[in-house]
């Protein structure tokens, strides 16, 4: 992924939504882009403190929340972290594949499988909230 192009597209995406990718939000997004897979908020905070000197945790959490709300990141609750969304504001629920060896992440459209799970849950009287499903295993590169 070309970081410069991604950041430019992210800025345009935010403007289309009527929001601004401020310097701080952009810097947080750049830091997340520097990680190959799931990144935790405390990692972003530590990196930001190295670059800026002083950065408070709420500052990072607010920036991460903004990036999630604007479809630039996904919050991966199961791993207590964040991943970059390469398709801006996904219209689908994703299947997030996380390699346990290298930490690499792949996101797939899981609309069909999630619909089947939602239907089965509804038959049991349970309403499933919109979400991404995380599966851990070993990627093709690490299997070789």
So where are the chain's domains? Answer: 3-84, 94-143
Average pLDDT in the 55-66 region?
A: 94
CATH architecture of structural domain 94-143: 2-Layer Sandwich (3.30)
Q: Residue 134 forms beta bridges with which residues?
A: 96
Mean pLDDT of all residues belonging to the chain: 90
Please report which confidence band the pLDDT of residue 114 belongs to, taking 50, 70 and 90 as the band edges. confident
- Does the pTM surpass 0.95? The reply is no
Percent of the chain at pLDDT exceeding 70:
97
Q: Could you tell me if 71 and 13 are in contact, meaning their C-beta atoms sit under 8 angstroms apart?
A: yes
SS3 assignment, position 14: helix
Q: Is the pLDDT of residue 15 over 70?
A: yes
CATH number for the segment(s) 3-84: 1.10.10.10
Q: Could you tell me if 134 and 78 are in contact, meaning their C-beta atoms sit under 8 angstroms apart?
A: yes
Query: Would you list which residues are annotated within the binding site?
Result: 99, 102, 139, 142
Query: Would you list which residues are annotated within the binding site for Zn(2+)?
Result: 99, 102, 139, 142
Q: Give, for 84, the enclosing helix (H) or strand (E).
A: strand 81-84
């Amino acid at each position: 992924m070309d970081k410069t192009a991604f950041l430019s597209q992210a800025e345009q995406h935010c403007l289309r939504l009527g929001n601004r990718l401020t310097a701080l939000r952009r810097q947080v997004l750049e830091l997340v882009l520097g990680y190959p897979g799931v990144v935790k908020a405390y990692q972003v905070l530590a990196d930001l403190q190295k670059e800026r000197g002083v950065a408070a945790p709420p500052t990072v959490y607010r920036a991460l929340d903004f990036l999630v709300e604007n479809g630039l990141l996904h919050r991966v609750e199961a791993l207590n972290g964040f991943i970059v969304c390469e398709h801006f504001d996904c219209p689908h629920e994703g299947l997030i594949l996380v390699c346990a060896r290298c930490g690499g992440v792949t996101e797939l459209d899981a609309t069909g499988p999630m619909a089947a799970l939602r239907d089965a849950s509804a038959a049991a009287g349970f309403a499933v909230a919109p979400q991404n499903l995380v599966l851990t295993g070993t990627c093709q590169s690490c299997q070789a």
